[in-house]
Structure 1
Amino acid sequence: MAPPAAIEVEAVTDTSGVTVPDPLTVPVKSNEIYGRRKKADKRQWGVAAPSDSKDFRLRSYEGRPKARRWDHYITHEAKTRKGNSLKQAAKFLSTPGIISLGGGLPSSEYFPFEELSLKVPTVGHFSEAETKDSGVVLTAGKHDLANDKSIFDISTAFNYGQGAGAAQLLRWITEHTELVHDPPYEDWRCTMSIGSTSGLDMALRMLSRPGDMMLSEEYTFSAAVETAAPLGVRLAGVPIDAEGLLPDAMDAILSTWDASARGGRKPHLLYTVPTGQNPTGATQSAARRRAIYAVCQKHDIYIIEDEPYYFLQMQPYTGPNAPDAPPPASHAAFLKSLVPSFLSMDTDGRVMRLDSFSKVISPGSRVGWITASEQLVALYKKHADVSTQNPAGMSQLILWKLLDEHWGHAGYLDWLIYIRLQYTQRRDVILAACEKYLPKAIVSWRPPMAGMFHWMQVDFTRHPDYPQKSIEEIEESVFMRVIEHGALVMRGSWFYANSEERHDTLFFRATYAAAPAEKIDEGIRRFGEAVKEEFRLGKENGVNGYSNGH
């Protein structure tokens, strides 16, 4: 089917019509994107061709505010990094008739790959079994670009590239970001990363210095703590509830900050995982995000929005044995059902959003991207050019063949709806198992709305050896008891934002992402048996009515 024209005309009668508004000003729809792309010069797709995501945006951002400048937070390291001077010459490689004796690009004739084939799902038939039976084979040749068969090929993707990533995939990423988030300021940009952990590391080196403290949820992604620590950055935990980070608590912490008592100057960074937070599974509502953003404006806090689980927002949980909620009826309904991102409400350009394909396509792809203001993206690209370089060209080509040539934006949304329903089923399995096997007098939980994790609170005060045993000792005893019963859950203390701060709650994290349903059920049963044994519960009132005399 031919793509739609840039400006479409809809028939009204046989003799009249109405012109659809200029697509540079109307909202983007998933099935219209390819028809609204700007015509690109073939040289745009060459080896190590430089690109700017601004050139791939579908709407006009004229009249929107410009991002704030962040010079007062940018480090000396970031200011003095000049990038890779040799890569500046890459823009001349596509000059007609030029003979390049300058760059160190190896000839593709010495790449021992002639063709790459992938078997992938067709749209609407996404399961592993369906892919095996009816999947299609995508093929990338070595010289598809030169032979006008494709705009991305092995000779291009497998060579050196720019830190921003290949223009072919960067275009798709930019369009996707615009479709989903539509940032409300003018000078936003995208650039690729090799994953969000690397993105966080580079962001901290751009925006923090040794001795700084950074805000986060009081329980947070352990790798974030471990990434910050060698850079001399410590985390200050903000209290949370079922919706995650509490804005009033954050405001109070910042308003009363005592640098001497805290051992560091007032924070200017917030690291947050707003959706399906790791480890708690909490998801911030739209109202909660706006309140947090307002606190950040008040105190001039820059937000690092880490969102690997954003598209793992699940169907509403309606209780055990309740009928399944119907899936989104359309792409528009699906996108509307997602909690708005910080990026989508960022009028100041104070958000760096970290996105990744790790949780929705494959962790091993090692391809992600950041979205931020032009100022910060330019610094990030310079850093990438002299450190990580671009994400692996092999991965970029594979993803581009799947996402751009095969599925398109509409097909990718279909895939996201599919995995939404799959994760909903997994979430419901673990919740049903908890209802069935866990002693509610000891273990409590809230149904996660998104992500991969189930956060369970254990009432350590009901342990028969409390207070003789400390909370840390009880956690250790429960953890090892669960191991003895043949299951593994993560200790909540491993996720402290700041282990020096006092914690008076005991949690364990389970995941429903990997194991099949029967293993999830059995794992929770074993966890329940271990808890009952550790707390020496007597079977007086059935499965959930255990008593230990308290």
Structure 2
Amino acid sequence: MTPSSTSDLVLLDDTPSPEWHSGICISDGSVKDPTIADIDARRQAVGQMVAPTAAYADSDMFKLQCSRATTKPAARRWDSHLTAESLARAPGILKVAARFLKRPGIISLAGGLPTPDYFGFRSISAQVPTSNQSILFEDESTITMGIHDIVSENAAFDLSVALNYGQAAGSAQMIRWITEHVELVHNPPYADWDTCLTTGSTDGLYKALRMLCDKNRGDSWMTEEYSYATALETAIPLGIRTVGIKMDSEGLIPGAMDKILTNWDASKIGARKPHVLYTVPTGQNPTGSTQSASRRRAIYDVCQKHDVYILEDDPYYFLQLHARTSNGQPPKLSIGEFLASLPPSYLNIDTDGRVLRLDSFSKVLAPGTRMGWVTASEQMIERFIRHSETASQGPSGFSQAIVYKLVDEKWGHAGFLNWLQRLQAGYTDRRDVMMSAFDKFLPKLIVSWDVPSAGMFCWLKIKYNCHPNAKIYSTLDIEEEIFAACLKRGVLLAKGSWFRAEPDLPLQDVFFRLTFAAASAESIEVAVRAFGTALRTIFGLV
């Protein structure tokens, strides 16, 4: 039986959707970049959001008119890249039926939605930093959401909605905020983009791989030669071959990727030519490298040439590590200056709709929210939601409720962007502490590193051939000796070999990944000093 198409299922709900668009951010027929003022004006024009339990929502309901301008192209279709599993997934009939709930006065005897009267929670609250025009966030205040705030306080969201069953794409309230955020930060250059929530980037990546790669057709994918360990571990049990691409200080080298793809011989290699690239372009995990704007465009060009779909995993995008000003203070930027200081994302330069971007609150609010989002063409988001409907569904209602209260009602977009500036300043301080410790305690004769300009990681290269027994010890032996010596001194480092995209190949170099994200300044100094002592002892430099 052929699965029902989306167009077939539209007939299940003949109630017109509200027209929530506006002409804001179009002046004299010309399109300009969206601003917070445009978003505020649009919200004012359309009035209070009405989104009851299990309300359907997509980005097109909340976009500014400039995001949907007819001058923008439509995304390509990616049927040839999708797996048979993904193509076979049909919309969840109960999720589609929930769209009838928006009809005024309807009495539902269809869905198994519990009454909020029997929920075990009447309200939730949290202490949060207070946002204002400063980026210091020194004061705190309380945010609270009750069970019936929509009725009693004319609120847009409450626990009666957040804690009930909902759409796999996420609540309409969070979809609106995410859509506006994407407009402000990335402003995709094609018209039919969409977004939906995830339970974090790892969840998003797993579903994307199931959509795009199939071991039964011999699929492979590409990533940096050293890549996020969990991403690599996700692909292995799926039977997907990983191809590592050479890197330099700016990350993945486009010429190296082009050479591999141009010379690919499926009969000799035993796998189809890779049609998916997974990349962490900012503060890359584990190397800390950041692709420049020109590097990103060059990689995108290679992907266009070979028809490669891009998975852009960018959890460190906002953790740009800037130099201090002359007075030793972090630069304080206006919202416009801050947005302009960010590198162009792949989503921002994606004229084809060939990018699925993964974002997350984990690195900017808290990992335990287990909430992120993906942005891609409508076709790809629709397929993504089909996977979510029979797997994780959407993020926890508690997470959606408390994050909404913080980033939408309490902070707003301006407050959130100011918060990100605070994070940048804090992580820059931590990075600088680690760089200072490297200069003081590490033997530069055998250790080298680049100063990361984003993210949480430093990547150190060890000149293993300076080891007294380099002629008889393998690189893995030397790496293990250093690792064990540091562990004996109370310091845990991450081995570079843990992140190899192709671990079956001989290890050519010895690297270690160090993070400055959590340890105190004092602990960083103690750990780096111990690392330096271990290296000097092992390499006979004492």
TM-score higher than 0.5: yes
Q: Contact 1:44–1:167 (CA<8 Å) still a contact in 2?
A: no
Aligned partner of 2:81 among 63, 66, 73:
73
TM-score scaled by structure 2?
0.92
Aligned partner of 1:526 among 521, 524, 530:
530
SS at match of 1:231: coil
- In structure 2, the residue matched to 1:289 is 296
> Shift in Å at residue 326 of structure 1?
4.7
**CA offsets, 1:49-104, max 9 Å, x none?**
00111111123322211111101111111111113111111111132222211101
Residue 427 of structure 1 aligns with an amino acid whose one-letter code is: R
1:212 and 2:219 are equivalent in the alignment: yes
Residues 1:507 and 1:303: Cα distance change in structure 2 (over 3 Å): same
- In structure 1, the residue matched to 2:166 is 161
Residue 54 of structure 1 aligns with an amino acid whose one-letter code is: D
What CA distance in whole angstroms lies between the structure 2 residues aligned with 1:51 and 1:23?
28
Residues 1:446 and 1:510: Cα distance change in structure 2 (over 3 Å): same
- In structure 1, the residue matched to 2:392 is 388
* Cα root mean square deviation, aligned: 2.0
What CA distance in whole angstroms lies between the structure 2 residues aligned with 1:331 and 1:42?
26
Residue 281 of structure 1 aligns with an amino acid whose one-letter code is: G
- In structure 1, the residue matched to 2:126 is 118
- In structure 2, the residue matched to 1:58 is 64
Q: Contact 1:37–1:58 (CA<8 Å) still a contact in 2?
A: no
What CA distance in whole angstroms lies between the structure 2 residues aligned with 1:7 and 1:258?
51
Aligned partner of 2:314 among 307, 317, 325:
307
Aligned partner of 2:466 among 459, 462, 466:
462
**CA offsets, 1:352-397, max 9 Å, x none?**
0000000000100011100000100011111111111111111001
What CA distance in whole angstroms lies between the structure 2 residues aligned with 1:238 and 1:21?
45
What CA distance in whole angstroms lies between the structure 1 residues aligned with 2:48 and 2:342?
36
Residue 465 of structure 2 aligns with an amino acid whose one-letter code is: T
SS at match of 2:79: coil
Question: Percent of aligned positions with the same letter in both sequences?
Answer: 50
SS at match of 2:102: coil
- In structure 2, the residue matched to 1:185 is 190
Aligned partner of 1:224 among 231, 241, 253:
231
> Shift in Å at residue 317 of structure 1?
7.8
SS at match of 1:179: helix
> Shift in Å at residue 534 of structure 1?
1.2
- In structure 2, the residue matched to 1:472 is 476
- In structure 2, the residue matched to 1:202 is 207
Aligned partner of 1:333 among 334, 337, 340:
337
What CA distance in whole angstroms lies between the structure 2 residues aligned with 1:525 and 1:259?
49
* 1:227-246 aligned within 5 A: 227-246=234-253
Matched residue pairs, number? 516
Q: Contact 1:433–1:524 (CA<8 Å) still a contact in 2?
A: yes
What CA distance in whole angstroms lies between the structure 2 residues aligned with 1:357 and 1:256?
39
> Shift in Å at residue 465 of structure 1?
0.8
What CA distance in whole angstroms lies between the structure 2 residues aligned with 1:323 and 1:461?
43
Q: Contact 1:24–1:58 (CA<8 Å) still a contact in 2?
A: no
SS at match of 1:504: coil
Residue 99 of structure 1 aligns with an amino acid whose one-letter code is: I
* 1:496-507 aligned within 5 A: 496-507=500-511
After TM superposition, the structure 1 stretch with the greater mean CA deviation from structure 2, 281-290 or 515-524, is 515-524
Q: Contact 1:254–1:266 (CA<8 Å) still a contact in 2?
A: yes
Aligned partner of 2:178 among 173, 178, 198:
173
Q: Contact 2:323–2:330 (CA<8 Å) still a contact in 1?
A: no
1:353 and 2:346 are equivalent in the alignment: no
Q: Contact 1:44–1:51 (CA<8 Å) still a contact in 2?
A: no
Aligned partner of 1:508 among 492, 508, 512:
512
Structure 1 unaligned segments of length 5 or more: list them: 1-5, 9-18, 539-550
- In structure 2, the residue matched to 1:3 is none
> Shift in Å at residue 28 of structure 1?
1.7
Q: Contact 1:354–1:371 (CA<8 Å) still a contact in 2?
A: yes
After TM superposition, the structure 1 stretch with the greater mean CA deviation from structure 2, 241-250 or 22-31, is 22-31
- In structure 1, the residue matched to 2:143 is 138
SS at match of 2:357: strand
- In structure 1, the residue matched to 2:113 is 105
Residues 1:405 and 1:43: Cα distance change in structure 2 (over 3 Å): closer
What CA distance in whole angstroms lies between the structure 2 residues aligned with 1:325 and 1:315?
11
Residues 1:192 and 1:330: Cα distance change in structure 2 (over 3 Å): same
Q: Contact 1:7–1:22 (CA<8 Å) still a contact in 2?
A: no
SS at match of 1:311: coil
What CA distance in whole angstroms lies between the structure 1 residues aligned with 2:439 and 2:268?
44
